[in-house]
Structures are given as structure tokens and as C-alpha cells.
Amino acid sequence: MQAFIDAVRNAIGDKAVVTDRQDIEPWLTDWRGRYRGEAPAMLSPANRQEVQSIVALAAEHGVPLVPQGGNTSMVGGATPPEEGSAVILSLRRMNRLPSISAEDNLAVAEAGMILSDLHDAAAAAGRRFPLTLGSRGSCTVGGLAATNAGGTQVLRFGTMRELVAGVEAVLADGSVHDGLAALKKDNRGYDLNQLLIGSEGTIGVITAVALRLVPAVAVRAVGWAGVADPQAALRLLRFFEQRTDAVEGFELIAGDSLALVLNHIPGTRAPLTGSHRWHVLIEATAADAASDPAQMLQDVLGQAMEAGMVEDATISANEAQAEAFWRIRDSISEAERAEGPTTAHDISVPIAAMPDFIVESSRTVEQAFPGAVASAFGHLGDGNVHFHVRAGSRVGPDWMAAEAPAVTRLVHDLVVAAGGSISAEHGIGQMKRDELERLAAPGDLAAMRAIKRALDPRGIFNPGKLVD
């Protein structure tokens, strides 16, 4: 290990090698505080060539690397091993935007560029990068690509897999995969770009990505509707889809989740005056300033109320109110943490099956664990919800260690039985690795392990994550 660190220092200089414990400390724990590792050094290359040098030296010395961007993984995917056998490879210094083109609707960003900075750069060019999430002020585009991140606009624009037009990455021998050309058609065999997206840093280090842009939003409107159940919410989504293509956000929120936010998050207010068991947040946008998405929302929600799909609804009167509606949605996890221990599941099932899954699986979990509270919120339109189970009256000092694993096992069994996925947008990391082993098809696991062995024969990339 020390020989490797010295070799890196000699090759690319002291600035790229951090060994001071205080400087490394903040990057040893995952965003949720569930996983903690050790690392004798954190390497911070300034460009792709320095990444190549580091990877080549790591292969030569047999030292594993843990690629890290904003360290916002929800599954411990960027946390080094506990025994300190790996070093952190931080891409945060590589935060430049080599090119952006409004004509081509493309931007090329280095892996360490923060998502909110990309948003600002796209806006300055009259364009938009249509992916956003709560950690946009700290997550990086390389990490987003490596985890195939989703967010609140997947309904209209898809995940990172759809938004990444090309990838540049350093492979295990220090060579470079240069796929940044963003070709519409390219049939030269296996698509390494797509293989790297979602690979969680286990087969290569993403150093830059070419990203698809869309026209900037000229005007938007946000609506809030109270509905009887998730089935009514899905009928409302289909109702909108038959009448407009302007909806890009459609979020399902349980009444108890809203109550937690109102109770724990200062400054929040209920959008509707009455009580409703379920709620839907709807965002519509237009690139043309002459369009009126607010009027469209009002018209369609009015028709839905007449048809009995909606109990009550309101439209944001201004941008501040629109942000207030979204703040409720974005604060649910924070409110749950304030309420007590919660085990979170980022799952997906076929869209048509999701409403029944939410209702029936909540009932099954609460019957199996009396006193616990199961609830779901999130992206109903793309079949992905965050299925959370709160300790409720079962709360105790060891609930997370003693009962949460059994809760998760049951939830995942229900997801697989419904034909779904135990990881919709957060990845596998180390948190879900054992569950992937338990539930994935043997052929799929064998194929992933074969790919890992072929592209990372010495096992130097992100040990202990995804598959070993």
C-alpha cells in the first residue's frame, strides 16, 4: 500500500495525494451514516491522464480503488472497506465542462461536475439537463452515470441511461474507452457505454460523459390533488396522458407521509383544506412562453373531478407556491427520520401492478410486524416508489439491527413475486448485495460476475459492491 501511494505521489505530485486523516475523514462514511470504512489515502486526480496513471499503478501494486464523486450513494456504494485495504479515488477535482452546444443539444462534462452546476451551465446556454434529485447540490455527473440515477423527471425523459449519449472511462489496465462521440448509430459490437452506466464503478472509472440536453422550460405549473387510493392516482395519470404530453412529474404521496412533513418540517403547509388518504403532485412544463400549463392542469383536473377520479385539487399560484409543493415531496424522508427509525426500499414493479402492490404489500408487512407502519411515495408513472416501513410502536434501541433486515427480506420477496426489482434507481452498492445474491436469477449473476472478471481481472475496482 505505501509503495503504491509513494508511486502515485512520484507520478503526479503531492496535490493529488491526501493522507491527512482529518481531510479523509468526511469521505469515509456514506451519506446515510450506515456504512463506515477506512482508507490510508484519498487520491484526487485533476484529469483523465492522472486517472490513467493511478489505475495503472493500482493494477501493478494490487491496490483496490473506490471511485467516489459526491458520496451521495443511498446504498453504501462509494464507501471504502472497513479494513482499510483500498484507497478512495475522488473525481471531484475533475469538474470542468469541456463543451456545451445548444445546436446539438449536448454537453460534455467531466465526472466530478456537480449536477446543480451542470443545470446552471445548461440554463446559460438556453437548454436544460432534465434530471434532478434532492442531492443535486453535491452529487456528480460521473456518479449519476455510474449508478444510472433516476429522479423526478423520469416519466418524460428517462433515467441516466437514456440521457447519457457517450462515456469516457479508464479501464483496469489504464487504457481508455473513448465513447464521447455521441453517435446516433454505432454498431461496432458490444456497447461499452451502456455497460459502464449502472456498473457502480466496478468495471471502470468514468471520467467524462456526453449528456443530452432539452429546451429550457419557459413556464411551468404544479398541481396538487387529493385522491382516494393509488388506483385512482394511476387512473388520473392515464387521464392526463390521453390529453397532454406536457406532464413530466407525477408523484404519489400518502396522507400519513404528508402528516409527518407538516408535523416535523417547519414552514410547510397542507396544499388542500380537507383530509385525503392519498395525494398526487403533478408538474407540467412548456418550452414556449405563450403556453399555459396552469390552465391545462386546471382544465384536466376539473374534468377528472367531474369523472370522480379526484376529490379536491389546487394549482400553484406562483413559483414560490410551486416550490412549496415540491418541498413537501422532497422532505418526506427527512420527516420520517425525525419520526423515528425507518427502513427504506427503492423498488419497482410493473406500472399497472403498482397501485395494488402498494395497498396489498403494506397490509402484508403491517400484519407480519404489528405496530410497524408501511407507506409508499414517489414516481408512480415509471413504476418506482420508495416503500418505507417505519418502526412505529415497535421502536426500540435495536430495531434497525434486530427487525429491519427481516422487514426488508419480506418487502423484497413481495417485489420479486410481483415481477419487480429490488433496486429501481439507487443501485445495489453493499447494502443490497446479499439480497441480489439471494433473489437474482443464477444466470444473471453468472453473467455479471463473468463481466466483472473479464474487465477487472485483478479486482481493483470498488471491492465489495454489486457483485464479487
pLDDT tens digits, one per residue of 210-229 = 999 999 999 999 999 999 99
What are 384-427's pLDDT values in tens digits? 899 999 999 988 878 888 899 999 999 999 999 999 999 988 89
pLDDT for 139 equals 93
Gap between the Cα atoms of 15 and 107, Å rounded:
28
User: If we measure between CA atoms, which residue out of 278, 279, 407, 277 comes closest to residue 342?
Assistant: 407
User: If we measure between CA atoms, which residue out of 168, 162, 160 comes closest to residue 204?
Assistant: 168
pLDDT for 188 equals 85
> Is there a contact between 235 and 382 (Cβ–Cβ < 8 Å)?
no
Below-70 pLDDT ranges, the chain: none
User: If we measure between CA atoms, which residue out of 391, 393, 362, 365 comes closest to residue 377?
Assistant: 362
- 17-20 LR contacts (CB < 8 Å, sep 24+): 17/41, 17/43, 17/44, 18/42, 18/43, 18/44
> What are the φ and ψ backbone dihedral angles of 381, each rounded to 5 degrees?
-65, -20
pLDDT for 31 equals 83
Distance of CA 466 to the CA centre of its chain: 15
Distance of CA 192 to the CA centre of its chain: 21
pLDDT for 407 equals 96
The maximal CA–CA distance of the chain, rounded, in angstroms, is 73
Domains of the chain are 1-90 (3.30.43.10), 99-215 (3.30.465.10), 218-335 (3.30.70.2190), 340-426 (3.30.70.2740)
- With H, G, I as helix, E, B as strand and everything else as coil, classify residue 364: helix
Say which residues have a Cβ less than 8 Å from residue 329's Cβ, sequence separation at least 6: 152, 251, 253, 281, 377
> In degrees, to the nearest 5, what angle opens at C-alpha 353 toward C-alphas 431 and 441?
45
Gap between the Cα atoms of 452 and 468, Å rounded:
8
Gap between the Cα atoms of 174 and 57, Å rounded:
8
pLDDT for 185 equals 84
* Strand (E) or helix (H) holding 66: strand 65-68
| CA dihedral of residues 156, 159, 163, 164 (deg, nearest 10) | -170
pLDDT for 114 equals 97
pLDDT for 183 equals 82
User: If we measure between CA atoms, which residue out of 456, 430, 432, 466 comes closest to residue 29?
Assistant: 430
